[in-house]
Structure formats: structure tokens, C-alpha cells
Amino acid sequence: MTKNITHSAVCDGMNGLVVTIESQFVRGFSGLQMIGNISESLRDSKERARTALESLGVHVPPKKLIMSITPADVKKRGDQFDLGIAVNLLLLNRDDRAKIDTTRYVYVAELSLAGELKPVRGVISYAIAAVAEGFTGLVVAQKNLADLAVLRELNNERFATLEICAFEHLREVQAWLYGEGEALPINSSVAKEDFSPVARNFDDMILDANLYHAALCLAIGRHSLIMHGPPGTGKSMFAMRLPSILPPLESREHLQALRISSAHTVNIDEKLLAGQPPFRAPHHSASPQGVLGTAERPGDIALAHGGVLFLDELPEFRRDIIESLREPLETGEINISRAKNKVRWCAKLILIAAANNCPCGFWGSNKKKCTCPLGRVIAYRRRLSGPIMDRIDMHLNVIENKHDTTLLFDLIEHGGANQTAKMQARVSKCLAFSKKRNSALGSHFNNTIPARQLLAASGLSAAEFRKLLATSYLQKLSKRALIKTLRVTRTLADIELQEKISEQHLRSAYNWQAEAAARERGDFAIGLH
């Protein structure tokens, strides 16, 4: 009996897996039966593929046809199977042999009823899986070419051998299979975007010394930050402008971010393709699935990998979402566990959170009186648990702007005296200064320096380091808070290009700890401690 084999792919979180599509005519009543742990979407794929073939004049004979998709223990879902199924049926219904070895290619594209190829999610992971399993090439829709061109640039040696075959219509795929046509060419060079300051940057923002150093600390050390303060103090403005001073993503981090974005959407953002760090800012009304992600799609936490996750009005988020931040802050990843599936998404990000001091927002304001009862203020503050606050590196009280408001217009008119460009240059210089040391310590940025390496990172002798840690104001800190304080201390020293940390750096880092910031806000006076 006639039998055919083609291959497609499925995503399991960030990982792609090549699957085998086998079809064979058997005795029995006519019809196409699919087996192999398939979802309802694959039943739709079967009908789309058959209809698209009918539009080419290829008719599936009225016989019983079994189509098996293996491995059977993996759930098959998604519209990327359309092309693999169509090619399999096409080969099964033609007497002449194809000119190429069809079993050496992975087919991933959605089909319209007229046979047009549509882009699909996950092509980055599919390409990586195809290379890992030794396939010759990947057959995709023309609109997925840009994503795969970036992949070649990021890992030229590994993916140079993978043949990328892109088409706009199933008719073109048929012609290529039988030596009557060619695939669309892939552009091996991707135009990089200009990383100079763009729409949102610090050129139109007045930064006091505290905010200025906080911005540099975040960009250099990749620390996390929560800002407390009344409305209108620039918390959101600060967060949205931070990506403008971040350097482009490095190759490994860029590839991971592309895989995550590819699993989320068909069209990856052009800025991310060019290597700009992502910025995600979900609303506090967002669902847990939207922020945390699911087994099939990443959420905002994973989509911010390599960039910034901004959570405005943090106390207004659901408690389970807030507490779920513990894992990415500690490990740089988020695990989604469901009854039948468990996936891991990378989530190394810069968390920036903002919170008012009370429900009305004006507790502690000099411009407007707070109308909240004390009990409501305390209840509002306690929405943020001690464990989650302990995991945030920097706590900053943002005060109301005391400058003459006309200064803002002078700043905008003169382009902020190139404030952003100066900050970018300083970040680059400091990162170059810290890179050699951190590489030797087994970390990439200061926020991941292992606790056992903090002495070596400090640049101090063991005696000097112990003397510094004996400082009285550090004694009440938890071990986790102390480690985070020392990491921020290291970043503050890097800003000044100092090999050794000092008491002044340590004091400044401590002032950004949760306890010190709470005392500054007056929380201890109202029983919040």
C-alpha cells in the first residue's frame, strides 16, 4: 500500500520539536482519519489542506486514509501543520516522484482555502529544532522570512547550513518539489536600527541626583526597582525612558528573546529583530494568563526577557500575580505548571514597579492633602508582602518636583543637552569596566553575582570586607537583602569606575533598601514595619 512521510513541528514552551506525519491508504470506508494525540485545530488543518489541494486540481481519492502524527505523547496543536499535511497528501496522490528528498525538510505554514501560505508563530524555535535534528531545510511562508534572516545573523555558523525555503502559495511549493520552480531568496543581512535616542528618552525629563544614579544603576547592574511617591512625580515617565540607555541585546539573550516573541506572535516587533531591549507594561487589570503566560504562549513577564517589565500601580495587581514575581526575580525564569503540561520561559528582566503611598495617592504630598483614613493607608501598603519587597533590589521614594515648571520647557527646547546620549556613553563605559571582572566570577551583570563571590567582587581584602559588613545599620537586614545591598554597592562603585567598594557606596545602596526607604516615608510612625 502507498505510504508517505513528511515532517512538521510543534512548540513546547520555548523549545521546538519536529514531528512526523505518516499517511497510508487502508481498506475501509472512505475518509481521512487523523490519529496521534491531536487537538481540534488539527482537524481544521486537515480540511484546509484538502481544500487548498482541490484548488490546485489535486483530488484526494475516495478511499480510507489514515494519517498518524508522532510522537504520540506530545499534544499536537496549532495551524503550522497545514503545509506538512498538504504536502503529504500531494505526494500521496501523484504518481511521479518529487525531485527533492521531501523527508529532509520541515514544513510549517498555515494555508488559506485558496492555497496561500500564511505565517505562523514559533518559526524561530522550529528552525532551531530542525538544525538540532539534522534536517536539510525549513519550508515557511514568505512573511516569516524576516524572523529567520535575523536568526542567521545571530548564529551564522550553526544556521548557515539550514536551507530556508519560503513561498507565497501552495502552487509554488508544488512546483519546487518537482523541480519546476525555486523558493524566494532570504536576505542574509538585517538592517540594524539606529540606537541613538528616539521617541522616549531622558532628554525631556528633569532627573535629580537620586533618579539619575538609579537609572545608571538599573542599566549597568540590571537591578530591580520599586518607586513610591505621589502621582505626577515622574515614576511612569522614568520607567518608559529607561530602555533608551540600555545597550543592544547580546546574541544569546537576543536569540532567547526572539524565541519567546516568536511563540507569542506571528510578526515579531522590528525593534526586537534589530536587537533593541523589549519594554512591557501590562495594566493592573490584566489576567494572570496575560502576565504570567500559559503552556502555549508566554506572558508579559517572559516577553520582557532582556529588557524592562514595568508594573504601574503595583498594589492594584492581583495578589497571585505579585507573588509570582518571586521566581523570575530570583532565577531569571518562570515555570508554568499545569496538570498535563509544564513549560519554562526565560525571564531575565529589569523589573520596575511603581506605587502610590495610599489609595488616593497623596499621602505624604506637599501639594494636595490625603483623604484616606489611616486604616485604608495601612491596608493598601500591606498588599505588598514582605517576601516580595525583600526580593526587589532598590526602593526609591520619588519626591515631588521642586523645580520651576518653566525649566521643563527649556529642557525640551534644548534637547536636554543630550542627556540621554551622555547616559548611554556612561553606561557603555561602566559595562566595559565591569565585564572582565564579572566574567571571571561567572556572572554577566552585577545582579547575578553569586553570594560566595561578593568578597572577590568587592575588591577588598577579607578583613576589610568583614569590617564593612560589621556596620550597625546592616545588622537588621535579611541575608537576601544584605546580598542585594552588596550587589547594588558593587554597581555604584562601577559607576565611578572604582575597583573597590567603599563605605559611601554601601551607605547609598542601603538607603535604597526596603527598611531605609520605609523609614524615610514615615511608615514606622504609623505602625507599618
Give the Cα separation of 487 and 348 in Å (integer). Answer: 16
Q: How many domains does the chain have?
A: 2
Together in a domain, 298 and 252:
yes
Please indicate, yes or no, whether residues 155 and 225 belong to a single structural domain of this protein: no
According to DSSP, residue 249 is labeled P
Q: Which residues pair with 355 in a beta bridge?
A: 228
Residues 121 and 238 in one domain: no
One domain, residues 247 and 122? no
Give the pLDDT confidence score for residue 86 in this predicted structure.
Answer: 96
Task: Provide the pLDDT for residue 191.
Answer: 45
Percent above pLDDT 70 for the chain:
92
| Alpha-carbon distances, residue 291 vs 284, 300, 384 (angstroms) | 10, 5, 17
Residue entry with cell 566574567? 439
Give the pLDDT score at 151: 84
- Write phi, then psi, for 221 (nearest 5 degrees): -95, -10
Closest C-alpha among 299, 302, 286, 312 to residue 226: 312
Q: Average pLDDT, whole number, for the chain?
A: 90
Quick: pLDDT tens for 189-209.
Answer: 444 444 444 568 999 898 999
Other beta carbons within 10 Å of 322: 20
CATH code of residue 466: 3.40.50.300
Torsion angle of C-alpha atoms 383, 387, 392, 398, degrees rounded to 10: 40
Nearest to 486, CA basis, from 443, 464, 441, 455 = 455
pLDDT band at residue 529 using 50, 70 and 90 as cut-offs: low
Does the residue 182 lie in any domain? no
Residue keyed to cell 481544500: 51
Query: 337 and 207 in one domain?
Result: yes
pLDDT band at 2 (very low <50, low <70, confident <90, very high): low
Element housing 280 (H / E):
strand 279-280
The answer on pLDDT for 29 being more than 90 is: no
Would 481 be classed as within a structural domain?
Answer: yes
The answer to whether residues 172 and 240 belong to one domain is no
- Name which of 132-146, 409-423, 472-486, 501-515 the model is least confident about: 409-423
Crossing angle, helix 209-221 and helix 479-495, to 10 degrees?
A: 100
Q: Would you state the cell numbers that stand for residue 33, as one nine-digit string?
A: 482519519
Determine contact, residues 90/83, Cβ cutoff 8 Å. no
- Does residue 423 sit within a domain? yes
Q: Is the peptide bond before 71 cis (omega within 30 degrees of 0)?
A: yes
Separation CA 437–CA 419 (nearest Å) = 28
* pLDDT exceeds cutoff 70 at 352: yes
Domain for residue 173, yes or no? yes
Residue 463 phi, psi (nearest 5): -65, -45
The model's pTM is 0.91
Order of strands, sheet of 163-167, starting from the edge strand that comes earlier in the sequence:
31-35, 64-70, 15-26, 3-12, 105-107, 137-141, 163-167
Amino acid in the structure at residue 75: K
Asked whether residue 67 is domain-assigned, the answer is yes
**Model confidence over 359-404: pLDDT tens digits?**
998 888 888 889 999 889 889 988 999 999 999 999 999 988 765 5
**pLDDT at position 411, please?**
56
DSSP string, 147-197: HHHHHHHHTHHHHTTSEEEEESBHHHHHHHHTTS--PBPP----PPPP-S-
Task: Report residue 415 as a C-alpha cell.
Answer: 534637547
120 vs 3: CA distance, rounded Å: 27
Coil, helix or strand for 350? strand
β-strands 117-118, 110-111 pairing: antiparallel
pLDDT of residue 195: 43
Q: Is residue 292 part of a domain?
A: yes
What is the rounded CA–CA span in Å between residue 207 and residue 235?
11
Residue 189: per-residue pLDDT: 47
Q: Report yes or no on 312 lying in a domain.
A: yes
Long-range contacts at 191-194 (CB < 8 A, ≥ 24 apart): 191/274, 192/248, 192/274, 192/275, 193/270, 193/271, 193/274, 193/275, 193/276
Alpha helix ranges (H) inside 348-478: 374-381, 386-390, 406-413, 419-441, 454-458, 462-469
What average pLDDT does this structure show over 219-237? 95
Instruction: Quote the percentage of the chain above a pLDDT of 90.
Output: 68
Q: 18 in a domain, yes or no?
A: yes
- CA–chain centroid gap for 69, Å, is 31
Euclidean distance between the first and final Cα of the chain, in Å?
Answer: 77
The answer to whether 423 and 216 are in contact (CB under 8 A) is yes
Which residue type does 518 have?
Answer: A
Q: Domain check: are 369 and 453 in the same one?
A: yes
**How many Å apart are CA 495 and CA 38, to the nearest integer?**
55
Confidence of residue 462 (pLDDT cuts 50, 70, 90): very high
User: Could you tell me the three cell numbers for 170?
Assistant: 501552495
Last residue of a domain, one of 109, 143, 177: 177
DSSP string, 87-116: HHHHHHT-SSPPSS-GGGEEE--EE-TT-B
Looking at the structure, do residues 171 and 209 belong to the same domain, yes or no?
no
Owner of C-alpha cell 487523523: 34
pLDDT for residue 527: 58
Number of other CB atoms surrounding residue 294 within 10 Å: 16
User: Do the Cβ atoms of 105 and 185 come closer than 8 Å?
Assistant: no
The more confidently predicted of residues 527 and 442 is 442
Whether residue 227 is predicted with pLDDT greater than 50 in this model: the reply is yes
* Domain limit, last residue, from 161, 177, 193: 177
My answer on whether 380 and 241 are in the same domain is yes
Strand partners, 387: none
- Element at 36 (helix H, strand E): none
pLDDT score, position 190: 46
DSSP-derived letter for residue 76 is B
pLDDT digits (tens, 9 = 90+) for 253-292: 999 999 999 999 998 999 999 999 999 999 999 999 999 9
| pLDDT surpasses 60 at 506 | yes
Residues 167 and 217 reside in one and the same domain = no
Point out the domain boundary residue: 136, 162, 177.
177
28 against 419, higher pLDDT: 419
Q: Grid coordinates in use for 1?
A: 500500500
Instruction: Kindly state whether residues 95 and 230 are assigned to the same domain.
Output: no
CATH of the domain at 22: 3.30.230.10
pLDDT at 82 over 60: yes
Whether residues 220 and 134 fall in one domain: no
- Least confident range of 58-62, 86-90, 460-464: 58-62
Domain that holds residue 157: 3-177
**Residue 180 and residue 201: Cα distance in Å, rounded?**
52
Sign of torsion over alpha carbons 97, 98, 104, 110: negative
3-state class (DSSP) for residue 528: coil
pLDDT at residue 32, rounded to an integer: 85
- pLDDT of residue 171 exceeding 90: yes
